[in-house]
Amino acid sequence: MAHPRVLVIGAGMVGVHHALAAALADHPVVLVDSHHTPRGASYRNLGAIRISGRHPGGPLELAQYGNNRWAAIAARVPDVGYQRSGSVTLLHDEAELKVAEEYCEMYGDRIALDIVDDTLIHQVEPSITGTYRGALLCHDDAFIRPFEAVPALVTYLEHAEGVDIRLGTRIKSLEQTGGELVAHCSHGPPIHADVAFVCTGDALDSLFRDHLDEAPLTKVRLHSFEVAQTGPHPSMLVTDGSAFRVYPGFTELESARTLDRLEPAGVESIQWIVASSPDGSLLVGATAEVEQGHASNMPLEGSNWLARRTIRAFGRGAGSVIRRWSATVVDIDRSAQSDPYVALEPVPNVFLITGLGLLGNTLGPAIARQSIARISPDARDPLDQPPPPPPPRLRRYHRSKRPSLAGWRT
């Protein structure tokens, strides 16, 4: 079959990129989501596309491919708001400066990096008014406008690529009948396809939930708030040395192993990051694991910690909080699996993609091209750069309720 019919379940960031890659490779595509409007982490993140801090040997190459693909997508769909603005990572002390120096030494030939001292930070990013030891610049980092990107891509898919969009439709079951896949919907006629990609994000209670019982996945919370900004608006992504304690590309460095703990009581693996919204306000976010389960709200200590960092960086330019929101993300337990996401084939020709955490913006375009390469190895599309790295091995395991990875097998 030259162009198998493709069904994509889930219209978040990963799902819309799968639909786009399939449509550009001339596959007939149906994109389904149970909600009428965007929800979850694809819509409620800060839009960061991070090259810095990615682990080499897979994630870094995927991120670089994805970043270039975003630039090509933005030429067709400018409303995604893509900007390769770069990022500035503020360094508090000598220990963090050593991490930045080691990172530049190891990866400066693969990523556009610079270190500036405290006298140049304000020239690089005028919105920063605080005093720091220095800053790490990554000129390859970028961002999109998450509130606009997914709706813009869905509109483009429907009107420019002829994708059959069915929002507000839940897939009740997916079965193989007569050599094809048949999806039974909450309303409307069944959908017939040859291949399906299930990209439902944090909705792990949906199709094929039992195939994830032993997958190395964890749920964490993205906590964000919008702050009025009276000073200059940041043109770059802004973060600080908290990133050195979270991102694998930093944490593997020898100098990072001696960094002091920054997290407030009751919160693990927190990172402060700031972007500018289209209206000029500050979008402040943190991904954090909460010790007492996955609370829906950031503990008070965590919120105060984020506020202090924001005030230190932007001074009086950071005003009052306009609104707060949070989202659940499904992430990989990196102590159990080196691949940046989970790829399962629970039944033939049905592929389940999950575990990206907040990397849907960064890795989603490359993962989608990997997925289409599985079903159409020779497929090319108008956005193609050199092909992305090979996809990870598809995983299978014996179904079991035991909280163990012993059942995994390839």
Res 206: pLDDT: 63
Question: Domain coordinates of the chain in residue numbers?
Answer: 6-44+147-213+336-409, 87-139+217-332
Question: Is residue 335 packed enough to be buried (19+ CB in 10 Å), middle (13-18) or exposed (0-12)?
Answer: exposed
Task: Please choose, from the candidates 301, 258, 283, 7, the residue with its C-alpha nearest in 3D space to the C-alpha of residue 144.
Answer: 283
State the pTM of this model.
Answer: 0.88
> For 5-54, how does the pLDDT look when each residue is reduced to its tens digit (9 = 90+)?
999 999 999 999 999 999 999 999 999 998 887 676 676 678 899 999 98
Beginning with the edge strand found earlier in the chain, give each strand of the sheet holding 342-347 in spatial order: 164-167, 29-33, 6-9, 195-198, 350-354, 342-347
Q: Which residue would you say has higher pLDDT here, 162 or 378?
A: 162
Question: Is residue 206 packed enough to be buried (19+ CB in 10 Å), middle (13-18) or exposed (0-12)?
Answer: middle
Q: Give DSSP secondary structure letters for 156-208.
A: HHHHHS--EEEET--EEEEEEETTEEEEEESSSS-EEESEEEE--TT-TTSTT
> For 169-218, how does the pLDDT look when each residue is reduced to its tens digit (9 = 90+)?
999 999 988 889 999 999 889 999 999 999 887 666 567 777 777 777 87
> For 141-172, how does the pLDDT look when each residue is reduced to its tens digit (9 = 90+)?
999 987 889 999 999 999 999 999 999 999 99
Res 291: pLDDT: 45
Residues with Cβ within 8 Å of residue 182, at least 6 apart in sequence: 174, 175, 176, 190, 191, 192
Task: Please choose, from the candidates 21, 352, 349, 10, the residue with its C-alpha nearest in 3D space to the C-alpha of residue 171.
Answer: 10
pLDDT average, residue stretch 349-374: 89
What CATH number does the domain located at 6-44+147-213+336-409 have? Answer: 3.50.50.60
Contact 338, 148 (CB under 8 A): no
3-state class of 64 per DSSP? helix
Within 10 angstroms of residue 58's Cβ, the number of other Cβ atoms is: 17
Contact 18, 343 (CB under 8 A): no
Span 87-139+217-332 CATH architecture: 2-Layer Sandwich (3.30)
